[in-house]
Amino acid sequence: MSFMKNTKKRALLLFGGRSGEHEVSLRSAASVLKFMDRNLFEPVLVAIEKSGRWVLQPEIPVDRIPASLPIVSGEEVYLAPYPKSGGSALSFAADSKKTLSIDVVFPVMHGTFCEDGTLQGLFELAEVPYVGCGVLASSVGMDKVFAKRAFETAGIPITPYRVATKDMEPGSVMGELGFPCFVKPANSGSSVGVHKVKKRADLEDALFDAFKYDTVVLIEKALTVREIELAVLELPGTGEIWVSQPGELKVNHEFYSYEAKYLDENGAVPLLPAPISPEQAEEAKRMAKAAFQALQCSGMARVDLFLDQATGGFVLNEINTLPGFTSISMYPKMCEHSGIPYPTLITRLFETAIERHQKRSELVRDFVIPTS
């Protein structure tokens, strides 16, 4: 991109965060810091502590970046909910007149308050270009019930489901679904609060646990599945929606549970490419692109499909708008395997973020009622 060549852009890497995926974020951010193109971008590091405080971090020499970024004490900074210094700048808590200008933000974070539209709302108010999906796609993508409704409307096959709220009788929430079924909080992540329920007697306990994490719970027919994932990337310049070849996660547990994800290093084995037929791969790519468009995503998303062993067809499980982003995470690996190396991927994301911001800033925001 020609606009990138002349001046280095200052890129704010925001990491940590208040979600359960805080530690994953420290690893994702370490990879981004290590591999981002220093000829094009100059990093500014800000950690979000578990308390929510934003703390400016010192630079780390490229050859000394650890696998997981540490959080050290430093000056408290924040983004004001209005544009500062021409639009993009961090403010300092100790001296609100002091600012540090930035050109683009990469929220290298996952989960609640990071990936659900709340942080993206702050970026919008501050008028800062940011990597990834906007407010709407982020919040819908995070809510399993609303995401399903959007996918259904777009004609994308999904798993049969019911929505349960606390006031419903456990006996009435199942409808025709039958057992086994999956019980999941509408908003969660990392399989926290997700249960496979094999018989009616276990339903109440599963619902009780899921309702700890959200007031709305999704119940799904349990399918026998293979887990197929794809990386979707919006390319700068053309806006083309690029989709990687599918990858597969071979899960060595009854399902891809919290234990399989984080506690057992052999919990799941990635297969790149997924051993499926070329026709199946094409179908998976079509679905991933349709899912990205159904939620009006921008920048990137990882689309997770189930290959239903009973029918041989795909159903859409979910979309992740800020997927795990270490250099060995599925999203970057799938991009790399399909021809976009990790450093290029990071550059593309920054470029798309800046372009999207430019386009949106040309929209008319204030409407003055003409006086006659």
Please give the residue ranges that form the binding site for ligand ATP (CB under 6 A): 159, 182, 184, 188-191, 194, 220-223, 225, 227, 251, 255-256, 317-318, 320
Write down the least CB distance from residue 160 to ligand ATP, Å.
Answer: 9
Cα torsion through 63, 66, 69, 73, rounded to 10: -80
Give, for 303, the enclosing helix (H) or strand (E): strand 300-308
Write down the least CB distance from residue 251 to ligand ATP, Å.
Answer: 6
Cα distance between residue 262 and residue 196, in whole Å: 18
Write down the least CB distance from residue 161 to ligand ATP, Å.
Answer: 8
Q: Is beta strand 9-16 parallel, antiparallel or unpaired with respect to 41-48?
A: parallel
Query: CB-wise, 145 or 281, nearer to ligand ATP?
Result: 145
Write down the least CB distance from residue 253 to ligand ATP, Å.
Answer: 8
Alpha carbons within 13 A on the beta-carbon side of 163: 12
Write down the least CB distance from residue 311 to ligand ATP, Å.
Answer: 13
Residue corresponding to tokens 């919040």: 139
Write down the least CB distance from residue 196 to ligand ATP, Å.
Answer: 7
Cα torsion through 199, 200, 204, 210, rounded to 10: 50
Interhelix angle 144-153/135-142, rounded to 10 degrees, is 110
Residue 41 pairs in a beta bridge with 9
Q: Which residue's Cβ lies closest to ligand ATP?
A: 256
Write down the least CB distance from residue 323 to ligand ATP, Å.
Answer: 9
Peptide bond into 180 cis (omega under 30): yes
DSSP 134: -
Write down the least CB distance from residue 284 to ligand ATP, Å.
Answer: 16
Query: CB-wise, 220 or 355, nearer to ligand ATP?
Result: 220
Query: CB-wise, 191 or 344, nearer to ligand ATP?
Result: 191
On whether the CB atoms of residues 163 and 156 are closer than 8 A, the answer is: no
Residue corresponding to tokens 């019911």: 162
Write down the least CB distance from residue 172 to ligand ATP, Å.
Answer: 20
Query: CB-wise, 251 or 281, nearer to ligand ATP?
Result: 251
Own/partner long-range contacts of 20-24 (Cβ < 8 Å, ≥24 apart): 20/111, 20/112, 20/189, 20/190, 20/192, 21/109, 21/110, 21/111, 21/114, 21/189, 21/190, 22/50, 23/68, 24/110, 24/324
On whether the CB atoms of residues 150 and 295 are closer than 8 A, the answer is: yes
Query: CB-wise, 128 or 147, nearer to ligand ATP?
Result: 147
Peptide bond into 273 cis (omega under 30): yes
